[in-house]
Amino acid sequence: MGLILLVMAGPLQGQDETQPLTVPLRFDHYYTYEQVVEAMKLLHRTYPSLTQLNLLGKSEEDREIWELTIHNPETGDILDKPGVYVDGNIHGNEIQAGEVCLYLADLLLTHYGRNERITRLVDRNVFYIVPVVNVDGRYHFFADANTMHSNRGLRRPKDDDHDGRINEDFPDDLDGDGNICMMRKRDPNGKYRTDPSDPRLMVRVGPGEKGEWTLLGYEGIDNDGDGRINEDAEGYVDPNRNWGYNWAPPYVQRGSGDYPFSGNAMRAIASFMMDHPNIIVVWAFHNYGGMILRGPSTKQEHIPQADIRVYDYLGKNGEKIIPGYRYLISWKDLYSTYGDFTDFTDNIVGSYSFVGELYRIAQETYRSPSSGGKKEEETLFGGEDVERTRERLKFNDYVAMGMLFKPWKPYHHPVYGDIEIGGWMKMSTRIPHPFMLEDLVHRAASAVLFTADQTPEVKMTLLGKKKIGKDLWQVRVRLSNEKAIPSMSYISVNEKLYPKDMVTVKGPRVTVVAGGRLLDEYTGRTLYKEKKPEIQFLQVPGFGHTDLQFLLKGKGEVTFLYRSRKAGSRRMKVVL
Amino acid 9: pLDDT:
36
How far apart (Å, rounded) are the C-alpha atoms in residues 11 and 403? Answer: 6
CA distances from 172 to 175, 198, 244, 405, 450 (A): 9, 28, 35, 19, 44
CATH architecture of structural domain 458-575: Sandwich (2.60)
Q: How would you write the pLDDT of the chain (576 residues) with one tens digit per residue?
A: 344 444 333 446 555 666 789 999 999 999 999 999 999 999 999 999 999 999 999 999 999 999 999 999 999 999 999 999 999 999 999 999 999 999 999 999 999 999 999 999 999 999 999 999 999 999 999 999 999 998 999 988 776 767 777 777 688 899 999 999 999 999 999 999 999 988 999 999 999 899 999 999 999 998 888 888 877 778 789 999 999 999 999 999 999 999 999 999 999 999 999 999 999 999 999 998 999 999 999 998 899 999 999 999 999 999 999 999 999 999 999 999 999 999 999 999 999 999 999 999 999 999 988 765 544 544 444 455 788 888 888 998 999 898 888 899 999 999 999 999 998 889 999 999 999 999 999 999 999 999 999 999 999 999 999 999 999 999 999 999 999 999 999 999 999 999 999 999 999 999 999 999 999 999 999 999 999 999 999 999 999 999 999 999 999 999 999 999 999 999 999 999
Amino acid 385: pLDDT:
77
How far apart (Å, rounded) are the C-alpha atoms in residues 554 and 469? Answer: 11
Where, residue-wise, is CATH 2.60.40.10 in the chain?
Answer: 458-575
105 three-class SS: helix
- Which residues, at least 6 apart from 478, have a Cβ–Cβ distance to it below 8 Å? 460, 461, 462, 463, 545, 546, 547, 548
Q: Which residues sit opposite 57 in a β-bridge?
A: 65
CATH of 31-143+235-359+433-453, one of 3.40.630.10, 3.40.50.10190, 2.60.40.10, 3.40.50.300: 3.40.630.10
Q: Which residues sit opposite 177 in a β-bridge?
A: none
- Which residues, at least 6 apart from 372, have a Cβ–Cβ distance to it below 8 Å? none
Where, residue-wise, is CATH 3.40.630.10 in the chain?
Answer: 31-143+235-359+433-453
Amino acid 504: pLDDT:
98
Amino acid 368: pLDDT:
87
CB atoms within 10 A of CB 468: 8
Note whether 475 and 465 are within 8 A (CB). yes
- Give, as one character, the DSSP assignment of residue 510: E
Amino acid 236: pLDDT:
81
Amino acid 402: pLDDT:
82
Amino acid 17: pLDDT:
63
How far apart (Å, rounded) are the C-alpha atoms in residues 156 and 340? Answer: 18
112 three-class SS: coil
Half-sphere exposure of 505 (CA within 13 A, CB side): 27
R_g of the chain, CA atoms, integer Å: 28
Note whether 39 and 129 are within 8 A (CB). no
How far apart (Å, rounded) are the C-alpha atoms in residues 295 and 355? Answer: 9
Amino acid 381: pLDDT:
42
- Model confidence pTM above 0.75: yes
Amino acid 161: pLDDT:
67
Amino acid 387: pLDDT:
85
- Which residues, at least 6 apart from 511, have a Cβ–Cβ distance to it below 8 Å? 552, 553, 554
Note whether 567 and 501 are within 8 A (CB). yes
CA distances from 421 to 171, 263, 310, 428 (A): 13, 35, 50, 16
Amino acid 6: pLDDT:
41
